[in-house]
């Protein structure tokens, strides 16, 4: 939700910030803006639309200066238009701010400021914040850093901000609560970078500080970064991290879209997830985060899984895995419902939070609540050092690498990989899985990436199938057992990137309502592999067929029955039912991708969405 970036140093700042904004566009793309400081003057450029639209309004002669802060917005307060775009400037014109987050008490603060004569151009909470900082600075007659610190103590909400004061032009002040903020440190402290993640500055430095919640940084050119606590102004010794990210990871590398690149990365991403954990030759699964709390897992009354969106679908797959393999009861909860439902949580509960970004506001709030109630919280996150990872008692990273396409793909399959490892490990520890079954699973798990490659090799066929239903206004996805969540995920993928209305259902539920939708050529995508309830799915397919629906089936190699009934079939290699979601998901991702491309949609940046949902 909104990306912020900035530069202060010796280079021309404009190209660094523009490129940085492009890399952060996955966080929101309703509007873009920047402020440049040059020859004692600040200039602000901002516009509704994307970073390319911003570039179009900044003429060549205005692109100079060694200080720049920029913003790409996912609108919360105020419609996406030029005025509501960031940066926002204080009434005096001295202070400029960029902000990712939400100031919840902005209305009260705004009323007070209006009474003191402040005027507002936009509907945003951010313009209120920058004027609050200005008012504090005037009242306290203090430097900008102190004014930011004092003002933030009056604010309720979440933020990652950067503030520039024309009166102190050698510095930027940055602060964080809830939303992420990284500071890149250039050589000899000659230059500094700030950004919502490290991608805008990886070609310039590998040294970064990740601000922690309630920290404020004073970033002074040719000096250093000084970090202080917001609530009491005490000094903090910042930890400098060596970045592992590389440029190739955040570039398309010849693919038309990040989504396609990320779909193709899944064999490697799954290997990266299980590397060092899945050890078939030794007959073990090694996971420090689980082992450390193994007694809590083994004695758990139940596992509560908390997540949103695609991660919630991974949680549903995990419900089958944990109940089937480890015989532990599982409840899968939407974080947003769980946190407001007054749920019953006990010390005997294990809570697993699943989140690619590790920043999803509802998931974060839900685990804080679970912790307060005494539950043990295990985090499954992709982004290293993210808020959910830090807030959990222990956890494991999926190591999928940066996921830039807004629609989640490799994050989903790597979450399932990790959750499968945990379920297998607990199944073994609890004595629910025999030695031979456990060993067979370990070996079969290791074969998944190669099998996945075989599915990717059918991309051309899948593209052709996509063209057969890309003009439909609506369609259904069906699956049973482990593949019911896969049907839900297939429907979500299609609707979010192609804007076709799609619903996922357990196949048997179809006759309780959705079957009414079926008429000539109505597309139904069915996962019909030869495991689980194959015969029952075959009957469901018959029911669709007799109403002349169009059937696109995902089947096991060598299948005859379903292939004869289906209009189109995509084969996946033979696989255990428990491991099948890792394979059956792939054709559905590719189908959605190709349908969206055929419909001319912006696959990587679907309308109204943002990658990291840091507001509830
Ligand atoms: C869909 C998608 C979203 C996310 C959801 C949770 O493709 O990406 O539904 O899965 O916003 O995000 P995380 O996993 O970052 O908590």
Spatial neighbors of 181 by CB under 8 A, at least 6 apart, are: 4, 160, 174, 175, 194, 195, 196, 210, 211
Residue 8 has pLDDT above 80, yes or no: yes
Spatial neighbors of 485 by CB under 8 A, at least 6 apart, are: 313, 314, 316, 317, 320, 479, 581
Taking Cα atoms as reference points, which of 172, 406, 450 lies closest to residue 310? 406
What residue's CA is closest to ligand 1, atom 9? 309
Within a 10 A sphere around the Cβ of 115, how many other Cβ atoms? 8
**Residue 249's pLDDT is what?**
87
**Residue 384's pLDDT is what?**
87
**Residue 79's pLDDT is what?**
79
Taking Cα atoms as reference points, which of 344, 579, 352 lies closest to residue 449? 579
The catalytic residues are 2, 611
Q: Read off the pLDDT of each residue in 29-58 and give the average, rounded to a whole number.
A: 95
- Where residue 431 falls (left for φ over 0; alpha for ψ -120 to 50; beta otherwise) is left
CA 396, CA 145: separation in Å to the nearest integer?
A: 37
Within a 10 A sphere around the Cβ of 14, how many other Cβ atoms? 23
DSSP H helical ranges for 339-483: 361-372, 387-391, 410-429, 435-456, 459-467
Cβ atoms of 125 and 191 within 8 Å: the answer is no
Distance from the alpha carbon of residue 223 to the mean position of ligand 1, in angstroms: 39
Q: Read off the pLDDT of each residue in 357-383 and give the average, rounded to a whole number.
A: 95
Give the DSSP letter string of 304-334: EEEE-HHHHHHHHHHHHHIIIII---EEEEE
Distance from the alpha carbon of residue 560 to the mean position of ligand 1, in angstroms: 36
Taking Cα atoms as reference points, which of 208, 178, 177 lies closest to residue 195? 208
pTM, rounded to two decimals: 0.90
Taking Cα atoms as reference points, which of 104, 94, 160, 149 lies closest to residue 128? 104
pLDDT per residue over 62-120, tens digit each? 999 999 999 998 877 777 888 889 999 999 999 999 999 889 999 999 999 999 999 99
Pocket test for ligand 1, best of 356, 485, 608, 615 (most atoms within 8 A of CB): 356
Distance from the alpha carbon of residue 265 to the mean position of ligand 1, in angstroms: 18
Spatial neighbors of 603 by CB under 8 A, at least 6 apart, are: 257, 259, 260, 405, 407, 497, 593, 596, 597
CA-CA distances (angstroms) from residue 206 to 92, 110, 186, 218?
A: 37, 40, 9, 20
Cβ atoms of 243 and 206 within 8 Å: the answer is yes
**Residue 362's pLDDT is what?**
94
Q: Read off the pLDDT of each residue in 45-55 and give the average, rounded to a whole number.
A: 95
Q: What is the mean pLDDT of the chain?
A: 95
Distance from the alpha carbon of residue 397 to the mean position of ligand 1, in angstroms: 16
Residue 1 has pLDDT above 80, yes or no: no
Q: What percent of the chain has pLDDT over 90?
A: 90
Q: Read off the pLDDT of each residue in 462-467 and give the average, rounded to a whole number.
A: 98
CA 201, CA 170: separation in Å to the nearest integer?
A: 20
Q: Read off the pLDDT of each residue in 167-174 and give the average, rounded to a whole number.
A: 96
Q: Read off the pLDDT of each residue in 417-445 and give the average, rounded to a whole number.
A: 97
Give the DSSP letter string of 47-95: EES-HHHHHHHS-GGG---SEEEEEEE--SSS-SSTTTSSPEE-TTS-E
CA 283, CA 192: separation in Å to the nearest integer?
A: 48
Within a 10 A sphere around the Cβ of 112, how many other Cβ atoms? 13
Pocket test for ligand 1, best of 180, 257, 354, 360 (most atoms within 8 A of CB): 360
User: Residue 501 carries which DSSP code?
Assistant: E
Cβ atoms of 100 and 72 within 8 Å: the answer is no
Taking Cα atoms as reference points, which of 177, 154, 1 lies closest to residue 74? 1
Ligand 1 atom at minimum distance from 493 CA: 7
Residue 613 has pLDDT above 90, yes or no: no
**Residue 615's pLDDT is what?**
73
pLDDT per residue over 498-535, tens digit each? 999 999 999 999 989 999 999 999 999 999 999 998 99
Between vectors from CA 495 to CA 19 and to CA 401, what angle results, nearest 5°?
Answer: 40
Spatial neighbors of 225 by CB under 8 A, at least 6 apart, are: 183, 185, 189, 192, 209, 217, 218, 219, 238
Ligand 1 atom at minimum distance from 388 CA: 16
What residue's CA is closest to ligand 1, atom 8? 408
Distance from the alpha carbon of residue 313 to the mean position of ligand 1, in angstroms: 10
CA 153, CA 214: separation in Å to the nearest integer?
A: 10
Q: Read off the pLDDT of each residue in 589-601 and give the average, rounded to a whole number.
A: 98
**Residue 247's pLDDT is what?**
85
What are the structure tokens assigned to 399, written together? 């190591």
Pocket test for ligand 1, best of 308, 313, 367, 610 (most atoms within 8 A of CB): 308
Distance from the alpha carbon of residue 408 to the mean position of ligand 1, in angstroms: 6
Cβ atoms of 309 and 492 within 8 Å: the answer is yes
In the numeric block, the tokens 């480890």 are attached to 326
User: Residue 116 carries which DSSP code?
Assistant: T
Cβ atoms of 118 and 128 within 8 Å: the answer is no
Cβ atoms of 409 and 589 within 8 Å: the answer is yes
**Residue 81's pLDDT is what?**
86
Which domains are assigned to the chain?
Answer: 3-249 (3.60.20.10), 457-616 (3.40.50.10490)
What are the structure tokens assigned to 40, written together? 């004692």
Ligand 1 atom at minimum distance from 612 CA: 15
Ligand 1 atom at minimum distance from 407 CA: 7
User: Is cis: bond before 525, omega within 30 of 0?
Assistant: no
Q: Read off the pLDDT of each residue in 581-585 and give the average, rounded to a whole number.
A: 98
CA 211, CA 173: separation in Å to the nearest integer?
A: 12
Residues lining ligand 1, Cβ inside 6 A: 308-311, 355-357, 360, 363, 407-408, 492, 496, 612-613
Of 8-12, 48-52, 218-222, 244-248, the poorest mean pLDDT is in 244-248
- Which contacts of 293-300 are long-range, i.e. CB under 8 A and separated by 24 or more positions? 293/376, 293/378, 293/393, 293/394, 294/429, 296/350, 296/376, 297/328, 297/350, 297/426, 297/429, 298/426, 298/429, 298/430, 299/348, 300/328, 300/348, 300/349, 300/350
Q: Read off the pLDDT of each residue in 199-212 and give the average, rounded to a whole number.
A: 95
**Residue 172's pLDDT is what?**
97
Residue 612 has pLDDT above 80, yes or no: no
Task: Report the SS3 class of residue 580.
Answer: coil
What are the structure tokens assigned to 477, written together? 């996805």
pLDDT per residue over 218-251, tens digit each? 999 888 899 999 999 999 999 999 998 888 888 8
Confidence bin at 259 (pLDDT 50/70/90): very high
Between vectors from CA 180 to CA 178 and to CA 184, what angle results, nearest 5°?
Answer: 145
CA 567, CA 564: separation in Å to the nearest integer?
A: 8
Cβ atoms of 89 and 159 within 8 Å: the answer is no
**Residue 15's pLDDT is what?**
98
In the numeric block, the tokens 């490892």 are attached to 421
pLDDT per residue over 303-353, tens digit each? 999 999 999 999 999 999 999 999 999 999 999 999 999 999 999 999 999
């Amino acid at each position: 939700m909104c990306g912020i970036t900035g530069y202060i140093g010796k280079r021309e700042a404009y190209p660094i910030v523009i490129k940085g904004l492009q890399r952060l566009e996955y966080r929101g793309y309703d509007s873009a803006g920047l402020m440049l400081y040059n020859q004692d003057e600040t200039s602000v450029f901002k516009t509704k639309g994307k970073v390319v639209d911003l570039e179009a309004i900044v003429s060549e002669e205005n692109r100079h200066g060694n200080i720049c802060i920029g913003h790409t917005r996912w609108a919360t307060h105020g419609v996406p238009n030029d005025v509501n775009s960031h940066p926002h400037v204080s009434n005096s014109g001295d202070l400029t701010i960029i902000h990712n987050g939400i100031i919840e008490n902005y209305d009260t603060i705004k009323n007070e400021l209006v009474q003191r004569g402040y005027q507002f151009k936009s509907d945003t909470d951010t313009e209120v914040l920058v004027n609050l900082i200005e008012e504090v600075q005037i009242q306290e007659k203090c430097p900008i850093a102190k004014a930011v610190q004092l003002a933030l103590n009056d604010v309720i909400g979440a933020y990652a901000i950067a503030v520039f004061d024309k009166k102190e032009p050698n510095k930027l002040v940055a602060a964080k609560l809830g939303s992420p903020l990284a500071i890149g440190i250039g050589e000899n402290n000659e230059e500094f970078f700030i950004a919502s993640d490290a991608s805008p500055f990886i070609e310039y430095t590998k040294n970064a500080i990740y601000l922690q919640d309630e920290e404020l940084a004073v970033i002074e050119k040719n000096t250093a970064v000084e970090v202080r606590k917001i609530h009491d102004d005490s000094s903090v010794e910042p930890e400098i991290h060596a970045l592992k990210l590389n440029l190739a990871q955040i570039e398309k590398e010849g693919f038309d879209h990040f989504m396609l690149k990320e779909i193709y990365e899944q064999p490697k991403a799954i290997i990266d997830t299980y590397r060092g954990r899945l050890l078939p030759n030794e007959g073990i699964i090694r996971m420090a985060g689980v082992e450390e709390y193994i007694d809590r897992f083994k004695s758990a009354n139940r596992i509560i899984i908390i997540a949103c969106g695609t991660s919630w679908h991974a949680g549903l797959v995990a419900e089958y895995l944990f109940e089937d393999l480890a015989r532990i009861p599982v409840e899968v909860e939407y974080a947003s419902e769980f946190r407001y439902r007054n749920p019953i949580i006990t010390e005997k509960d294990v809570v697993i939070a699943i989140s690619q970004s590790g920043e999803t506001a509802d998931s974060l709030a839900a685990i804080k609540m679970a912790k307060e109630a005494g539950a043990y919280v295990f985090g499954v996150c992709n982004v290293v050092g993210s808020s959910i990872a830090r807030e959990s008692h222990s956890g494991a990273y999926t190591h999928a690498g940066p996921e830039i396409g807004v629609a989640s793909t490799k994050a989903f399959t790597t979450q399932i990989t990790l959750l499968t490892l945990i379920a297998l490990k607990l199944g073994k520890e609890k004595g629910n899985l025999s030695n031979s079954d456990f060993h067979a699973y370990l070996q079969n798990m290791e074969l998944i990436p190669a099998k996945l490659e075989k599915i990717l090799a059918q991309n051309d066929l899948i593209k052709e199938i996509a063209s057969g239903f890309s003009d439909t206004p609506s369609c259904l996805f069906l699956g049973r057992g482990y593949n019911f969540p896969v049907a839900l995920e297939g429907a979500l993928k299609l609707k979010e990137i192609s804007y076709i209305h799609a619903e996922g259902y357990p196949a048997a539920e179809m006759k309780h309502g959705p079957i009414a939708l079926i008429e000539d050529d109505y597309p139904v995508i069915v996962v019909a592999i030869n495991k689980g309830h194959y015969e029952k799915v075959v009957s469901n397919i018959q029911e669709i067929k007799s109403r002349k629906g169009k059937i696109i089936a995902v089947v096991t190699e060598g299948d005859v029955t379903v292939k004869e009934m289906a209009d189109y079939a995509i084969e996946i290699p033979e696989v255990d039912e428990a491991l099948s979601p890792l394979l059956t998901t792939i054709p559905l991702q590719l189908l959605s991708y190709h349908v969206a491309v055929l419909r001319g949609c912006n696959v990587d940046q679907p309308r109204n969405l943002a990658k990291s949902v840091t507001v509830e």
